[in-house]
Amino acid sequence: MRNAALTLGVIAGIIGMFVGFFSYGYVEFIDWFGEIEEVAGQVANPGLVKAVSLLAPVLAIAGGAMSRSQATAGGACMLMSAAGMYWAFGFGVFTMFPIAMAGAGGLLALAARRPDPA
C-alpha cells in the first residue's frame, strides 16, 4: 500500500503542478492586463490561489515520497494537498484527478500500518 501511495502522490503532484502553473499564470495575467468584461475576471481570492498553486503540488509530491518511510506524515501531507486543491480550485475537469489521486494516496498511506511485503 505504501508503494501505491507513493505513486499516487507523485502523479497527483505532477498533475497538480500543471493546474498550479495555469492558475497562478491566470491570476498574474489578470493583474497585469486587467479584467475583460464577460470574458475573464479575477478570482475571488487571488492570494489563496497563488499560495495553493505552489503548496498543494509540493505537499502531494513530498507526501508521496515520505509515504514509504513515514506513512502517517506522508498521508497527512497528501490529504492536506487534496483539501487545499479542492478549497482553492474547486472540483472540476482539470482538478478531479489530482484531488482524487492525492486523497486516495493519503488514505492508502494512513491505512498502511506496516511496511509492504517484498
User: Is residue 18's pLDDT more than 70?
Assistant: yes
Residues 33 and 71: their CA atoms lie apart, in Å, by 45
pLDDT in tens, 51-97: 999 999 999 999 999 998 889 999 999 999 999 999 999 999 999 99
Q: 40 has which bridge partners?
A: 36
Measured CA distances, 114 to 6, 53, 102 (Å): 15, 33, 20
Residues 61 and 64: their CA atoms lie apart, in Å, by 5
User: Higher-confidence residue: 41 or 18?
Assistant: 18
Domain boundaries, the chain: 2-111
Residues 48 and 84: their CA atoms lie apart, in Å, by 9
- Report pLDDT for 39: 79
